[in-house]
Amino acid sequence: MTGLSAGLVALGGGGAEASGYRPVAPMPAHVSAPYFEAWTGESPAALAAESGNKYLTMAFLQTDAAGSCTAYWNGDTTQPVSKATFGADIAAIQARGGNVIPSFGGYGADTTGTELADSCTDVDAIAKVYESLVTTYGVSRIDLDIEADSINNTAGIDRRNKAIAKVQRWAERTGRRVQFSYTLPTTNTGLAANGVALLQNAVDNHARVDVVNVMTFDYWDGATHDMAADTVTAADGLVGQLAALYPKKSRAELWHMVGVTEMPGIDDYGPEETFTTDDAVKVEKWAEAKGINTLSFWALQRDNGGCVGTAGANSCSGIAQDTWYFSHTFAPFTRR
């Protein structure tokens, strides 16, 4: 999702030079990248500037119908992966020294068979779609939001991880840097068994997972939650699970694989799961201390207090807050 002006670095190496490709800068070691709801018709570049975000996660890419191998923004055939779709916005974000992370999947796609690897049975075709994001927009990370039906679709999981491995080999040959993050549902003590199985399949397929981004909201367990405290215990549990999957990694390396996505205000479950402004301060300080990789929230358009008392709204948090409070609180986390 980028234009290639500011923030470009030459990696060197025969592949990059031979192809004439000048790679973009890699993602920062620690990045705040809230999700942007790409279906609203709003400008990601404008809202990024307004909110003070240098990095955004753009949601979502999916096929228009189950069985297709062509991905579109929002599954809308008028919004293909092309510079005509979001290209100018992405270029503007990158020109300001930032970038975007295109995200595949999400609940809607994951429950309709239109998540790319669920829809498409051709591993090469899946890999080509991922590569097209890199070559079209100059992105250096791709996010895969796998939940609901998709997290139990073992065939789709296997295809997706095989495609990731193919893209990583392609990136090595051509001098590119491409990271992959998995965004997964979590309990307040770590991933459920299906999330661990997904990551085990990635290990088995030699697909490098750079970030495991847990959605620390929508627990739906009937309990009243301290959302900041449960973020800590969920991440602690995740690190223990990652240690079993990646026994050669140090504790610091495991923590650097961790991403956390919050839902500011009242989440879909209701008031029992409310992420407050105080929670945001606590989580940002904790994330800095632990050295996690990614801090995010769902979603940028919710970062305002326009609907106090409303749960799970797409355009407001449901709590009293200053506009862009969560963006401004998480923004200092971004650093190289």
DSSP result, 225-286: --HHHHHHHHHHHHHHHHHHH-TTS-HHHHHTTEEEEE-BEE-SS-TTSEE-HHHHHHHHHH
> How many C-beta neighbours within 10 Å does residue 278 have?
11
Give the per-residue pLDDT at 14: 37
Give the per-residue pLDDT at 22: 57
Mind listing the pLDDT tens digit for each residue in 8-26?
A: 222 233 344 334 455 678 9
Q: Compute the chain's Rg from CA coordinates.
A: 19
1 domain-assigned: no
User: Using 50, 70 and 90 to split pLDDT, how confident is the model at 237?
Assistant: very high
6 domain-assigned: no
Mind listing the pLDDT tens digit for each residue in 63-85?
A: 999 999 999 999 999 999 999 99
4 domain-assigned: no
Mind listing the pLDDT tens digit for each residue in 180-236?
A: 999 999 999 999 999 999 999 999 999 999 999 999 999 999 999 999 999 999 999
> How far is C-alpha 5 from the geometric centre of its chain's CA atoms?
23
Residues spanned by the domain of 130? 14-333
141 domain-assigned: yes
Mind listing the pLDDT tens digit for each residue in 277-305?
A: 999 999 999 999 999 999 999 999 999 99
324 domain-assigned: yes
56 domain-assigned: yes
Give the total residue count for the chain: 336
CATH number at residue 270: 3.20.20.80
The single-letter DSSP state of residue 151 is: G
**Distance between CA atoms of 226 and 228, rounded to whole angstroms?**
6
9 domain-assigned: no
117 domain-assigned: yes
Indicate if the pLDDT at residue 316 is higher than 90. yes
Indicate if the pLDDT at residue 259 is higher than 80. yes
**Number of domains comprising the chain:** 1
